[in-house]
Structure 1
Amino acid sequence: MADKAKEGDLDRDSSCIISLDETGRNPQTVSSVEITSAILAHVSINMDSHEAKLQKAHIIPRIVAERGVQGVAEALDTDLENGLTCDEEHLHCQRQASTFSLTPTPTPGFFIRILKACNDCTVWLLFLAAGLSIFFGINGMTDGLLCGFITISVIIVIVVQNMSGKQQPSEMPRKVIVKRGGHEKEVSSSDVLVGDIVSLERDCLVPADGLFVKSGESLRLELDDGSTIDANKPFMFYGAKVTGGSGGLLVTSVGTDTTLGQLMTQVTQAPVMNPLPAELDKVNTVLQIAGLLIPILILFVLFLRLKLGDEDVKSKLPQVKGKPDTILDAISKIFKNSNGKFSTLITTLTMSLLGVKGGVPYAISRGIDYWRKKTLFEKAFADQKPLAWLTMGSVSTICIDKAAWLTLNQPAVGKDSKETSKAIEGLKTAGVNIILISEDKESGLEAIALESDGLVIEGENFRNYSDEERMSKVNNITLMESCTPFDKLVLVQCLKKKGKRVAMVGGKTNEIPVLKEADVGLVIESYGSEMARESSDIIIRDCCFSFLVATVRCGRCIYENIRKYIQFQLSMTIAGMLIPTITTLSFGYSPISIIQLPWANFVSTFLGGLALMTEPPTYKLMEKLPLRQTEPLITKAMWRNIVSQALYQTAISVFFQSKGQIILGISKKVSETIIFNSFVLCQVFNIVNAREPEKKNVFRGIHRNPWFWVAVCVILVLQVAFIEIAHILIGNGNLNWVEWLVCLVIGMSLLATDWATKWTSECVMVWFSHIYGNHALA
């Protein structure tokens, strides 16, 4: 407990660190021998132990009180006028093995991003398909060359799509001016050494912990309490921003040895990736494996027939007559038909892989941007981490610093307390708890906290609890007062251990570790320090507490729309993989060509994303509890819908390829065009079904989203134009109004399939609950 208490004292505000020694009494007299030995022992490159850091934090204020800043400079073997010597061996001894930095990582260059986007199994396989099609098209077969160039074009689209998200602007490392050997020198802030004399002016960030050294001058720091930094109050800490005046800094600690650096070492995790990309990666991996297995299956069948030397002319599979004389001849027979045309193997390979790659990341990023502008009215932004909005939708606890609370509840902004109370009740209804945090003892905040019948606790008591006591009380806390930055960090860590998703609203530099530890770190632009803003996930511009309710609602709306879009995208992708596979194995060719599938993917993916990602939130969205961390992205209801709709599209396509020509008395080209056109129209009604993954009435509220109708109309217009142009340029089958009506009926039947699937599922659930009880469905 004693160590924890020391740790808490160490991480207190600067006034607590610099004014008292470990016992809380005035600084004791320190001899010159003690000064030199203490400094050389604990400000050296061997500063690894926690006890050494504690001793250093207390010895420097004692030295300043006894002998002034000059005494510290002498012990550090530096000169207040000339700085460190320029001897490399001497500088090497001063250099600390620390790489601690809060500066955002610069964005990689354009070509680096290109290489990263191309480093994907699917992209390389598409390159292979393109190469094979070009190679076997060299002999004058235009089909092969056309397929090759189209595949390359698709790859370019994929690469651009992977790079379509907002890129964090590159940021050059901060430079500071130091004095070494009597001369001023510009160095990176990460290269500042213990003993350096750093020049500070307005808008500079303090690059390390240290002491003010320029007599007759003073500094004012960002978020300061109104006092100035001068010879009487010389202590400065890493991360503060100079807002006025000028002076020098004698560096006493750098990197992880600074007050902020030591607190950052207590953060239990690096910034965690939002669960959504991880879930999408899992789905994409499964689809990639399926996309690889399908061509392998076809290749195996073709090799088997080649080995047997099949002479059956009437066979509907690709003809591989005769046994090959050479390996090249065998490969040629696999990738070419007997009539010299392009084999369906490469077509199926390309289409299967294209089915894997959709516009999910692009559509999601555009949807996030849309709802941020529509719901939040540009009053907050998260350019560096746009997926933070999604995390806000699943937040169950919001910790708010006192200063942030006062900023969000300014009388001139939010108009009376009723608005704040209404916002708090709205968050409670949504299952979100509020915890107020103060470094002081505030009766005003205590009154607010007591209205919630929660637990009011002091930071020192919470710090001195055992782990078991903390975990037993943390869920009931509504106010923590008289707390240090270390106490705030422990509070967030305990909440996360209890399975909570935590958002932290702060803004001070010493709150950066808490902002990093929280699932979402929010900083108010008008209040937060520059380093806190850089370390946050979301920056709030609107100083109104009710804005937090809008942020949670925005996150939940985006997450629900993403689920709808993923259901639509997966059902289309799976159907797009199954149709060419089954038809190729059964009939020897796919009715959907290598040109048509990319078109269907492009039109449906991007315009379908526009339709579904702009769906407005439902009225009961804020009455639901936050999503559990263990809850999957794709629910059982979504899988039910995906499977049923993909199977319907596959079954109707295979049936029509088998019997369509006979039933309607049409040619093969017209039959193939009907199948392709029906596939695209199915996606239109698939978008409608995806609006309600669980409800049977998929048309409820459809009038509230004008972008939905725009997307549907554009898809239909583009599809009509594509059918006509393909007929003129390539010679595809043309459709009359009766055949268009057939396609429309096939597409609309997907609505009936969805309704029947959901009705059957409800009947089964009622039957199970009647037989086994409700607990059987849990």
Structure 2
Amino acid sequence: MSAIIMELLLQPDPMQLHGSINPNKKRWHKAFATIYCSRAFLSPPSTVAIDVVVDHHLNHLVKDKNLRQLSLLKGPHGVAAALKTDPHHGITGDGQDLAARRQDFGTNTYPSPPTKTFLHFVLEAFKDPTILILLACAALSLGFGIKEHGIKEGWYDGGSIFVAVFLVIAVSAVSNFRQSRQFDKLSKISSNISVEVVRNGRRQEVSIYDVVVGDVVCLKIGDQVPADGLFMEGHSLQVDESSMTGESDSVDVDIGVNPFLFSGTKVADGYGKMVVTSVGMNTLWGEMMSTISKDTDEETPLQSRLNKLTSSIGKLGLAVAFLVLVVLMIRYFTGNTEDENGEREFNGGRTKADDVINSVVGIIAAAVTIVVVAIPEGLPLAVTLTLAYSMKRMMADQSMVRKLSACETMGSATTICTDKTGTLTMNKMKVTKFWLGKDSFEGAMKMGRCAVELLREGVGLNTTGGVYTSREGLEFSGSPTEKAILSWAVAELGMDMEDVKRGCEILHVEAFNSEKKRSGVLMKRVGSDHEFHVHWKGAAEMILAMCSHYYDLEGSKKDLNDEERLQFNHIIQGMAASSLRCIAFAHKQSDEVKLETERKIEEKGMILLGLVGLKDPCRPGVKKAVEDCQYAGVDVKMITGDNVFTAKAIAAECGILRPGQDLDGCVVEGAEFRNYTDEERMERVEAIRVMARSSPFDKLLMVQCLKRKGHVVAVTGDGTNDAPALKEADIGLSMGIQGTEVAKESSDIVIMDDNFASVVTVLKWGRCVYNNIQKFIQFQLTVNVAALTVNFVAAVSAGEVPLTAVQLLWVNLIMDTLGALALATERPARELMERRPVGRDEALISNVMWRNLMAQAAYQIVVLLVLQFKGKGVVGVRAEVKNTLIFNAFVMCQVFNEFNARKLEKRNVFEGLHKNKMFVGIVGVTVALQVVMVELLNKFADTERLSLGEWGICVGIGALSWPIAWLVKLIPVPQRPFFSYVSFNKWRGGA
């Protein structure tokens, strides 16, 4: 075999690879072999050699950036031909073709990291030191109990603790396991992006997972390159390879020097087409992904703050538990405690060692249980449940949460900076007016043949869109603006895009970007080697500034003097005031190619060819959505690239600018805002409602200024140019339909329907998440304060704790888990939008919450202590029944207080209750389980059966919390935070 083929194969002995022949690839062998051998003037190589070429070099061609191998394959078009791909029509794309390509070259997917099993979360729960101590106490209690009373009776105390602990572990593991699965599902959804490919001559959007080797992929600014491949055609294409190389500078892509494109990189400028050579794990990105495993655990800022709060309360509980332990030990060893027969439990050396150890274990278990009930493990769980529930509901409301912290932070948002196109408007552009010179058209047009021909070229060549014929008729691709102009040109100008392209040769293209707001093309007509044409298209006032002449109705060239320039400006302003986006076309003919420095097409001395006005109607309901935000105290600002007249018209239509509002300082242009001094910007930024002709830097600058003023800022965006502002904002909201992948990756939440009304829904859910967490904090701290105080006072004064270890574990289980779930499922209420936003400085535990929880805790403490010390006389029950009464009354207080927690400020706690079936169901389950605990599991819970009258007493004690809550809410609270010296209030609600 030839040395060239040997070098290409990179194998010392190709025959050694005979066993690796893939029979499924034989259909590709001949194509590759013919190209290699014809290029190297060789006879066809063996089947083994061909197989190595296909297997090895197709995958490594792009990875190694091997121009020599690419040259031997006749460049990107040669590779496309070998892959049976037409550069213009793509692959056939039928089911058989796609299946064969997936079988031969693999799929564009990556193996997921191992999913954490349920057993993993069970083991994680066992790592809790408190759980381990309780298990040790349970084991000792079980051992001594069986030794003293036998297996039949002796297992109750220790076994009860075991069962309670395992129930806590099971609930914790199930909750965390479900959360992990939720994150996995969310990750798959956020990774499933769409790309545009050409199949059977038709552009279509497919999932990135459906891309196959041989596909022709269309790339534009902001797109993610879906697989490794080769650049075939396009203009000014630049790629951001920082995800691969870490270098921030964009890389130029062209056929001659660098035609290589890598999966995972982003298109920074220009547009083009690529042929896919490797997918999935065969790509360079795939090799990197194989060494990376994603961790699905994500702790949000609020969860972090709540963990600190939990830690602080836990330390307080630990101190109380230690005091209880010391007091109970002293009382026991000094003979001040009695058993159930009224005899002293410790009688010096006459007490059996087993009895001493058993009693000490019981005391330790009681102290440890106080720690268990003191630590509000339910706080982080409540956040998890609330966020998981909210994420699911928000997905149904067209909002996909990419970062959990955004749910919390959105509840604190004070300002929303929104773009216009596609968010406030429908992004369904239609040309409604056309001006040629000083003549306007709204229907059929009559103009000179020369002007029509130039317009066809200006539209058909200077575009990233396309026109295709299908069974249903003509199909238009590209951005909404491109599709609208192409549709107009076909209908009104009779443009045949294929004819236009066949009759012209494009020499250079300057792609559109948000900075210059225009695109240009340098071309020549076929057969006219010395006649060159420049076409520009873009924002009307910018194109007009480039022009020195204009075409009239007959196609004659006229001078554009100052007076006529002013007339054209009035035309542009008039269209803008009618909410029309104004796009201008300009043309210039030259006898020689004039490319300015840095390969920029000539921009001076152009001839104005025409103006088109495109209407993009406002979305239905957007005005009400804006009013809802303003009613909720959230300021809405519109930042757009349109001129100031269009911006004003749309803002007024949407309600951002109100009729009769003084516009002084409310509307600015980006350049004006940019040129303010820092002091002027900070002084005026809050008053601004509309920023027109803005650049990405202007948007970023506004977000930075608002944050410096103390605002919590949400930003909507759909373009690559929006990425800096989306990242800088407290909450980035990208658009799911028109949004580029760069914008989506820079955002926290994706609005699936591109509708501003969905932004308001996100705002409601954000406030709901924050409010639900506050509800549970109030509810949980009431339980903790009451339980700690009652057990501590009883232990110090009477030498016993009325609430046993098993009973406290039971309360901890049903109140932490079921209580969290019940309050986490409260849906957004209208009242949430009637409040001012909490911003950055609102205390997590508000004055209202302190008032409510202290009142309820005080009531529970008084009632339970009265039952503890005067229960026999007041209620007339035995000691054993008294303890059960205390336990049951305590649980009933929490059940009724759960209703109080639904409304932090409103006195009617039953409002909207019928809509939350989950809450009612959980309360019902809690009561049912408590009945079972008291009436059936007497040995397990150390309880006695209660009569109907005694049940009535417990329910009555719990029900009294309702009128108490109603009366307490009449008490006004001061604005200054309670307990300002306590570090709790340093953990703010805004992220």
With 280-289 and 454-463 compared, the bigger mean Cα shift is at 454-463
- The offset of 1:729, in angstroms, is 6.5
- Contact 2:803/2:887 (<8 A) preserved: yes
SS in 1 for 2:416: strand
State which of 366, 377, 388 in structure 1 corresponds to 2:406: 388
SS in 2 for 1:698: coil
- Contact 1:459/1:483 (<8 A) preserved: yes
| 1:290 aligned onto 2:306 | no
Q: How does 1:242-321 map to 2 (within 5 A)?
A: 245-246=273-274, 275-305=301-331, 310-312=334-336, 319-321=345-347
Q: Distance in 1 between matches of 2:730 and 2:129?
A: 35
- Contact 1:410/1:543 (<8 A) preserved: no
State which of 339, 343, 348 in structure 2 corresponds to 1:322: 348
- CA displacement 1:694-724 (0-9 Å, x = unmatched): 3444344544544443333332222222222
Q: Give the equivalent residue in structure 2 for 1:717.
A: 928
| 1:427 aligned onto 2:629 | yes
- The offset of 1:668, in angstroms, is 2.4
State which of 92, 110, 115 in structure 1 corresponds to 2:116: 110
Residue identity matched to 2:217: R
- CA displacement 1:595-620 (0-9 Å, x = unmatched): 22333333334443444334454444
Distance 1:247 1:664, change over 3 A: closer
- The offset of 1:527, in angstroms, is 0.9
- Higher relative strand content: 2
Distance 1:112 1:702, change over 3 A: closer
- The offset of 1:726, in angstroms, is 1.1
- Contact 1:614/1:705 (<8 A) preserved: yes
State which of 867, 871, 874 in structure 2 corresponds to 1:663: 874
Q: Distance in 2 between matches of 1:605 and 1:659?
A: 30
- CA displacement 1:500-537 (0-9 Å, x = unmatched): 11111112234323212111111111111223323321
Q: Distance in 2 between matches of 1:763 and 1:359?
A: 27
- CA displacement 1:435-488 (0-9 Å, x = unmatched): 222345363123334735353333334334332222122212223333332332
Residue identity matched to 1:567: Q
Q: Which runs of 5+ in 1 are unaligned?
A: 1-76, 85-103, 175-198, 223-227, 250-271, 766-778
Q: Distance in 2 between matches of 1:750 and 1:116?
A: 37
- The offset of 1:137, in angstroms, is 3.7
Distance 1:245 1:162, change over 3 A: same
Q: Give the equivalent residue in structure 2 for 1:126.
A: 131
State which of 795, 815, 839 in structure 2 corresponds to 1:604: 815
Q: Give the equivalent residue in structure 2 for 1:71.
A: none
Q: Distance in 2 between matches of 1:335 and 1:475?
A: 70
Distance 1:318 1:147, change over 3 A: farther
SS in 2 for 1:337: helix
Q: Distance in 2 between matches of 1:595 and 1:473?
A: 62
- Contact 1:334/1:343 (<8 A) preserved: no
State which of 787, 804, 829 in structure 2 corresponds to 1:576: 787
SS in 2 for 1:457: strand
- The offset of 1:369, in angstroms, is 4.8
- The offset of 1:293, in angstroms, is 0.9
Q: Give the equivalent residue in structure 2 for 1:27.
A: none
State which of 838, 842, 866 in structure 2 corresponds to 1:627: 838
- Aligned-residue sequence identity (percent) comes to 32
- Contact 1:571/1:643 (<8 A) preserved: yes
SS in 2 for 1:477: coil
Q: Distance in 2 between matches of 1:134 and 1:756?
A: 47
TM-score (norm 2): 0.54
Q: Distance in 1 between matches of 2:161 and 2:843?
A: 38
Q: How does 1:665-680 map to 2 (within 5 A)?
A: 665-680=876-891
- Contact 2:424/2:622 (<8 A) preserved: no
Residue identity matched to 1:565: F
- CA displacement 1:214-267 (0-9 Å, x = unmatched): 566789999xxxxx9866999999523999731699xxxxxxxxxxxxxxxxxx
- Contact 1:685/1:750 (<8 A) preserved: yes
- Contact 1:506/1:522 (<8 A) preserved: yes
| 1:202 aligned onto 2:202 | no
- The offset of 1:645, in angstroms, is 1.3
Q: Distance in 2 between matches of 1:302 and 1:323?
A: 19
- Contact 2:224/2:742 (<8 A) preserved: no
SS in 1 for 2:267: coil
Distance 1:314 1:398, change over 3 A: closer
- Contact 1:404/1:505 (<8 A) preserved: no
Residue identity matched to 2:363: T
- Contact 2:160/2:940 (<8 A) preserved: no
State which of 744, 747, 751 in structure 2 corresponds to 1:533: 744
Q: Give the equivalent residue in structure 1 for 2:849.
A: 638
Distance 1:756 1:396, change over 3 A: closer
Residue identity matched to 2:648: E
Distance 1:566 1:398, change over 3 A: same
Q: Which runs of 5+ in 2 are unaligned?
A: 1-63, 72-109, 147-153, 193-213, 240-251, 278-297, 431-614, 976-991
Q: Distance in 1 between matches of 2:894 and 2:841?
A: 31
Residue identity matched to 1:438: T
Aligned residues: 608
- The offset of 1:415, in angstroms, is 7.8
- The offset of 1:429, in angstroms, is 1.8
Task: Quote the RMSD (CA, aligned, Å).
Answer: 4.7
Residue identity matched to 2:628: G
SS in 2 for 1:578: helix
State which of 141, 150, 158 in structure 2 corresponds to 1:144: 158
Q: Distance in 2 between matches of 1:219 and 1:200?
A: 22
SS in 2 for 1:721: helix
- Contact 1:355/1:601 (<8 A) preserved: no
Distance 1:669 1:476, change over 3 A: same
Q: Distance in 2 between matches of 1:162 and 1:657?
A: 38
Residue identity matched to 2:862: A
- Contact 2:125/2:169 (<8 A) preserved: no
Residue identity matched to 2:266: G
Residue identity matched to 1:128: I
State which of 375, 381, 400 in structure 2 corresponds to 1:356: 375
State which of 751, 766, 786 in structure 2 corresponds to 1:555: 766
Q: Give the equivalent residue in structure 1 for 2:266.
A: 239
- Contact 2:217/2:275 (<8 A) preserved: no
- CA displacement 1:324-366 (0-9 Å, x = unmatched): 99xx98xx8886328xxx5133123124314424434444444
Distance 1:591 1:248, change over 3 A: closer
SS in 1 for 2:348: coil
Q: How does 1:362-381 map to 2 (within 5 A)?
A: 362-371=381-390, 377-381=396-400
- The offset of 1:671, in angstroms, is 1.6
State which of 423, 433, 455 in structure 2 corresponds to 1:405: 423
SS in 2 for 1:343: helix
- Contact 2:215/2:275 (<8 A) preserved: yes
- CA displacement 1:650-704 (0-9 Å, x = unmatched): 2222221222223333222222221111111111210122233234443445445
- The offset of 1:741, in angstroms, is 0.8
- Contact 2:716/2:734 (<8 A) preserved: yes
| 1:167 aligned onto 2:209 | no
Residue identity matched to 2:158: G
SS in 2 for 1:245: strand
- Contact 2:118/2:173 (<8 A) preserved: no
Residue identity matched to 1:245: K
Distance 1:215 1:561, change over 3 A: closer
Q: How does 1:363-512 map to 2 (within 5 A)?
A: 363-371=382-390, 377-382=396-401, 384-405=402-423, 408=426, 410=428, 419-439=621-641, 441=643, 443-449=645-651, 451-452=657-658, 453=663, 454-512=665-723
Q: Give the equivalent residue in structure 2 for 1:34.
A: none
- The offset of 1:318, in angstroms, is 9.1
- Contact 1:583/1:591 (<8 A) preserved: yes
